[in-house]
């Protein structure tokens, strides 16, 4: 048999009733208290207290505080009035039993309604998180397309400018060649005219002497002399010049290379080859391009775009095995896990991507933004709204002008406040 708690004290105002119930050394929790509009019950085995209240109360706003060996109730009346007593003294046993059963049924219906409301709210949150992710990815895709179009226009302008410069350069070269050719022809014409003047016969005496001289020398003539004067030197003999270059892995010259970046690339390639060699027995059936992490990443992206999320995860898994230092692999795999509802794995991959995206620089802002949003979305779908809000606030620090992120963060704050009030 239960031990009834008869000792209690109460006072009232026109709008509220204040009840103090001593516990006699028993420890109470909120689960031991049941309250409805007309029925109040405290069950702490072996102790029991119940009361059919004089008038209805607002059980939603009424409170109970446990402390110092007592339970202090603040019961707000539905209609302002002074009660004659705390309990309904004129009720018989059947009426009391009816009021108890009615209170329990109402409490069960209320709990069922709250459960349904929570279920609907949870589904709405899931739908909203998915829509927010899709909107964010759509905005990112449009931004990338705009950048590509801008870059294409810039390259087209540069190409047109280069063509115009080439045309101007060709015109200038042709004019310069004509001038040089003219400058070379003028001296030859002058020299030819001078020789023509020398070979003319000015008078008869000079012609006789010239004839005599030609007869005396035999084979010598003015034509052979002219040929000797105009004879050009022989062309130079061909030869081969051997040039030796310093052996290099990269095709560019050493003066044009970035040694630190090249060494980092070589180190990554060596690490990838080491991993491939260590898993040679398992990866020997793969094609050559399937051993390239970048090729696997592109293949995973195509599978994700087609809706094959499991295939994309497998491609990213193999790429991570080949090179576990690429943050985009973890970031893309986190997106696949979100689609597949593998929320804990999505959180792990997003955290790993953020770990690799250090230090935070402008070049990796976009990747860090996606990592925070995807991890925050996973937290919210797990109803860990506080952790999700932290990620959305971190994303807002990266892109403070993003209105979508700002609205999402504000909704998460409202959810946190609602959860705290309901608890």
Do 28 and 140 lie in one domain? The reply is no
Is 84 domain-assigned? yes
pLDDT score of 101? 82
pLDDT at 228 over 60: no
Q: How many domains does the chain have?
A: 3
pLDDT score of 420? 77
pLDDT at 256 over 70: no
Is residue 3 within 8 A of residue 48, CB to CB? The reply is yes
Which of the four pLDDT bands, split at 50, 70 and 90, describes residue 214? very low
Is 247 domain-assigned? no
Is residue 85 within 8 A of residue 129, CB to CB? The reply is no
Report residue 163 as tokens.
Answer: 């063509």
Last residue of a domain, one of 137, 155, 180: 180
Do 14 and 101 lie in one domain? The reply is no
Do 384 and 408 lie in one domain? The reply is yes
Average pLDDT over residues 219-226: 53
Which of the four pLDDT bands, split at 50, 70 and 90, describes residue 217? very low
Do 311 and 403 lie in one domain? The reply is yes
Q: What is the pLDDT of residues 130-141, one digit of tens each?
A: 889 999 999 999
Average pLDDT over residues 398-402: 90
pLDDT score of 73? 92
* C-alpha to C-alpha distance for 83 and 13, rounded to whole angstroms: 9
pLDDT at 216 over 60: no
Q: What is the pLDDT of residues 292-344, one digit of tens each?
A: 888 999 999 999 999 999 999 999 998 888 888 899 999 999 999 999 999 99
Residues 406, 408, 412, 414, Cα dihedral to 10°: 70
Q: What is the CATH number for 318?
A: 1.25.40.10
pTM: 0.38
Last residue of a domain, one of 88, 103, 119: 88
* C-alpha to C-alpha distance for 133 and 6, rounded to whole angstroms: 59
Last residue of a domain, one of 24, 59, 88: 88
Report residue 330 as tokens.
Answer: 């973890």
DSSP 8-class letter at 5 = -
Enclosing domain of residue 103: 91-180
Is residue 79 within 8 A of residue 51, CB to CB? The reply is no
Block residue for tokens 């030609």: 214
Q: Which residues, at least 6 apart from 14, have a Cβ–Cβ distance to it below 8 Å?
A: 77, 80, 81, 82
């Amino acid at each position: 048999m239960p031990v009834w708690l008869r000792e209690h004290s109460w006072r009232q105002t026109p709008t509220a009733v204040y009840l103090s119930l001593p516990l006699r050394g028993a420890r109470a929790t909120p689960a031991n208290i049941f309250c409805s509009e007309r029925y109040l019950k405290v069950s702490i085995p072996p102790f029991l207290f119940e009361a059919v209240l004089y008038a209805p109360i607002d059980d939603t706003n009424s409170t109970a505080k446990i402390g110092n060996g007592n339970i202090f109730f603040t019961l707000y009346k539905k209609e302002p009035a002074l009660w004659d007593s705390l309990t309904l003294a004129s009720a018989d046993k059947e009426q009391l039993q009816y009021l108890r059963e009615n209170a329990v049924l109402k409490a069960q219906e209320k709990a069922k309604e709250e459960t349904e409301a929570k279920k609907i709210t949870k589904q709405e949150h899931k739908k909203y998180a998915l829509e927010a992710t899709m909107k964010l990815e759509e905005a990112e895709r449009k931004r990338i397309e705009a950048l590509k179009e801008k870059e294409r226009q810039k390259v087209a302008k540069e190409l047109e400018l280069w063509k115009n410069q080439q045309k101007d350069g060709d015109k200038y070269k042709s004019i310069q060649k004509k001038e040089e050719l003219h400058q070379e022809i003028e001296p030859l014409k002058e020299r030819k005219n001078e020789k023509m003047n020398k070979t003319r016969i000015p008078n008869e005496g000079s012609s006789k002497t010239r004839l005599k001289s030609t007869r005396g020398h035999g084979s010598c003539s003015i034509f052979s002399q002219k040929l000797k004067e105009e004879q050009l030197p022989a062309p130079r003999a061909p030869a081969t010049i051997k040039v030796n270059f310093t052996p290099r892995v990269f095709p560019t010259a050493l003066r044009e290379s970035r040694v630190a970046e090249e060494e980092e690339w070589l180190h990554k390639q060596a690490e990838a080859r080491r991993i491939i060699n260590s898993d040679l027995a398992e990866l020997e059936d793969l094609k050559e391009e399937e051993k390239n992490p970048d090729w696997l990443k592109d293949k995973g992206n195509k599978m994700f775009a087609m809706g094959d999320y499991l295939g994309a995860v497998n491609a990213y898994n193999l790429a991570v095995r080949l090179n576990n230092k690429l943050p985009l692999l973890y970031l893309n795999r986190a997106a696949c896990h979100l689609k597949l509802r593998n929320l804990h794995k999505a959180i792990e991959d997003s955290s790993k991507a953020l770990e690799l995206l250090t230090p935070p620089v402008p070049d990796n802002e976009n990747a860090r933004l996606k990592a925070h949003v995807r991890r925050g979305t996973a937290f919210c779908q797990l109803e860990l709204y506080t952790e999700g809000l932290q990620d959305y606030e971190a994303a807002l620090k990266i892109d403070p002008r993003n209105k979508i992120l700002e609205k999402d963060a504000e909704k998460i704050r409202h959810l946190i406040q609602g959860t705290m009030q309901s608890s």
